[in-house]
Amino acid sequence: MHRLTLYLVGRTVLAVQEPTFLILTALAARPLHGYGIVQSVIDLSDGEVKLRPGTLYGALDRLDQQGLIVVDREESVDGRLRRYYRLSDSGAVALTEQAERLRRRATAAATQLGLRPGVAGGAA
Amino acid sequence: MSRMLLAAYPARLRRKHGAELIETLVEMAGSDRPTRAEKGWLVLDGLRERFRPPTRRPLALVAAILALLIGGALGAAAGSWLGTFGYAALPDAGALSQRVLPQTGGDPVGGNSDNYFSISGAFPDGADAKQAAEQTRQKLAAEGWQTGPIGYGDGVDGILANVHFTAQTSDAQLDVYAYPDANGAQVISLSGWPKRPAAYVPLTIAGTLLGLAAGWLIGVALAHRIQAARQPRRSAILTTIGLALAIPSAAGFIASLLRYLTANDPLRMSELVHANGFAFGPTIELMRALDLDSGSLLAPGDLGQLWIWGFALIAVAAILARPGNASASALTGERVDAGQPG
C-alpha cells in the first residue's frame, strides 16, 4: 500500500495511506456513516480495499483532527447510533489537489508509454 | 464483551468512536455474529492506535521519543536491579576483618551494604604496608580466596600511595589496599562485591525492551492528552521540564551500566550500578571518569534523585491536561474547520 501526501494550498496536511485517501473520496459525494464508508470504499477500489472497523475509525480520528472531515449529523436507527461524516471545505480542497496530482501522474505515465519504441503511435 | 474488545483502544478513541466501532463491526458481520478473526483484528487495530503519535506534531514526537529512551533506561535499571537479587551472599565484613586483618586492638570501620562491603582497620605502627598486605593475602588464601599479585600505587593517580591486591571466589570479588600514610595513619582496607550472575544480562535486556515499549506508550498517550487539553501550554511546559530533569539520570545510568557490563575484571566496587539497592543515575566511578566528582554543580546523589522530581512533574502535567472542548466539539458537528487556509 503506497503512501500519499495530502496538501492544502501547497502545505502538507497529512501523509496518508491509500485507504484514507479512499475514505475522503467516499465522503466527497455525500455524508456517510461508518459502515456506509466501508461499502463505498470497496466499490471505489474495485473490491481491493476492505476497511476494518479499527483502521476506519483510526483514520477518521486523524482526518477529524486535521479538520478534513466533520460530523454531519447523528441518527438513531432501531436504538443504534449512526454518526454521519462529510468532507469539510478544507477536506474538499485537499482532495481536489490530490486528485489533480494523481491525474498529472497518470497523464505523465500514459504520455511516457506512448513514447515507447515499437508501440503504435510512438516514435519509431 | 464489547467493552473488553474496546479496552485495546486508547481512551480518547474509545470515548469518541467506541459505540460506532462495535456498531460497524456488527453491521459488517451482517446477519452472522462477528467472527473470532474479526474481533482479533479489532483488538490488534486498537493496540496499533495506542502506538501512534499525534500527526503533524513534531514537538509531541520529540517528547514521545524522549519518553521512549527514558523508559528504556528505567526498564534497564529495573531489570538490572532484579538481576542483583541473584548476587551471591557476601561474607560478613566484621567477621572477615577479624580473621584476615592485622589485630591491633582497634575496632575496624565499615560494614556490609546491600551489594558490597567495605571495612578498614589500622595496621601496627612500624609495620611495613607490603608486609601487612602480604599477611592479609596469605590469610585470605588460607580461607579459599584466589589471590592476585601484590601491586603498588605511588599516589600520582589520585589514590594515596598504597600496596594492593585483588582476591576472588567463584562469586565474589575483593580489593585490598594498604596505605602507609592515610593522613598520618596506617590503614588497610577490604572492599568486596558480588560477581554478576548469569541472569543479570538477560534480565537487563528484558527490562530495557519492556521499558522502551512502556515509555513510548506513555509518551504517545500523554502527547495525545496534552494535544486535546483545554490548557495544553501549561502541561507542555511541565512535561518539557520533567523530561529535562529525567534525562541526566537516564543518561548517567545507561553510561554507568555500559561501564559495568564492559569493564575489564577486576572492576572497581564503585562501578556497581546498584551498590546500595535500586539506583537510577550515574555511579561515582562514571562521575570521576567525566571529572565531575568534586566541585560539580550536581553530586551523583542529586542525579540519582532528579528523575523522581521529573516524573512527578510529568504526572502533574498529565493530571492538569484535562480534556478540553476541542475533542468533544467533533460530536456536535458545529466544528470550525481547522487548518483552513488563511
**How does DSSP classify residue B323?**
B
Distance CA B16, CA A74 (A): 13
Nearest to A54 among B46, B332, B340 (CB): B46
Helix (H, G, I), strand (E, B) or coil at A119: coil
pLDDT, position A122 = 46
Nearest to B333 among A9, A15, A73 (CB): A73
A70 vs B contacts (CB less than 8 Å): 330, 333, 335, 337
Q: Between vectors from CA B320 to CA B315 and to CA B326, what angle results, nearest 5°?
A: 130
pLDDT, position A79 = 78
pLDDT, position B289 = 81
Best mutation target among A20, A52, A55 (most B Cβ atoms within 10 Å) is A52
Q: pLDDT digit of tens for each residue in chain A (124 aa)?
A: 456 666 666 566 666 678 888 999 999 999 999 999 999 999 999 998 899 999 999 999 999 988 999 999 998 888 777 899 999 999 999 999 889 988 999 999 999 999 988 765 544 4
Residue B338 pLDDT level (bands cut at 50, 70, 90): very low
| B132 touches B156 (CB < 8 A) | no
Distance CA B324, CA B238 (A): 18
**Which of B77-81, B247-251, B273-277 is least confident?**
B273-277
pLDDT tens figures, B122-161 = 888 777 888 889 999 999 999 999 999 999 888 777 778 8
Helix (H, G, I), strand (E, B) or coil at B78: helix
Output the CA–CA distances (angstroms, integers) from residue B41 to A57, B32, B51, in the order listed: 13, 17, 16
Helix (H, G, I), strand (E, B) or coil at B19: helix
Q: Which of B56, B1, B78 is closest to B223 using CA atoms?
A: B56
Residue scoring higher pLDDT (B120 or B267): B120
B44 vs A contacts (CB less than 8 Å): 54
CB-based contact A52 B45, cutoff 8 Å: yes
pLDDT, position B185 = 84
Distance CA B342, CA B337 (A): 11
pLDDT, position B2 = 75
pLDDT, position B257 = 94
Q: Which of A101, A103, A67 is closest to A87 using CA atoms?
A: A67
Pull the grid cell for residue A105: 501522474
- Output phi, psi for B115, to 5 deg: -125, 20
Close Cβ partners of B26 (under 8 Å, ≥ 6 residues apart): B34
Enumerate the domain spans of chain A: 3-101
Report ipTM for this prediction: 0.80
Q: B29 at the A interface (CB within 8 A)?
A: no
E strand or H helix that includes residue A76: strand A69-77
pLDDT, position B7 = 92
pLDDT mean across residues, chain B: 86
Output the CA–CA distances (angstroms, integers) from residue A23 to A92, B20, B183, B190, in the order listed: 12, 16, 80, 72
Q: What percent of chain B has pLDDT over 90?
A: 44
Best mutation target among A57, A60, A85 (most B Cβ atoms within 10 Å) is A57
Nearest to B19 among A64, A81, A90 (CB): A81
pLDDT higher than 50, residue B293: yes
Pull the grid cell for residue B86: 541473584
Q: Please tell me which of B171-185, B215-229, B260-274 the model is most confident about, judged by mean pLDDT.
A: B215-229
E strand or H helix that includes residue B174: strand B172-182
Burial B303-333 (b: 16+ CB within 10 A, else e): bbbbbeebbebbeebbebbeeeeebeebeeb
Distance CA B338, CA B340 (A): 5
pLDDT tens figures, B20-39 = 999 899 889 888 888 889 89
Query: What is the pTM for the complete model shown?
Result: 0.80
Q: Which of B102, B272, B259 is closest to B173 using CA atoms?
A: B272
pLDDT, position A15 = 62
| B162 touches B177 (CB < 8 A) | yes
pLDDT, position B266 = 60
Neighbours of A79 (CB within 10 A): 5
Mean pLDDT across the stretch B171-176? 89
Segments of B211-290 assigned E as strands: none
Mean pLDDT across the stretch B34-45? 91
Pull the grid cell for residue B18: 467506541
pLDDT, position B125 = 74
Mean pLDDT across the stretch B308-323? 93
Q: Which residue of A has its CA nearest to B24?
A: A35
Class of domain A3-101: mainly alpha
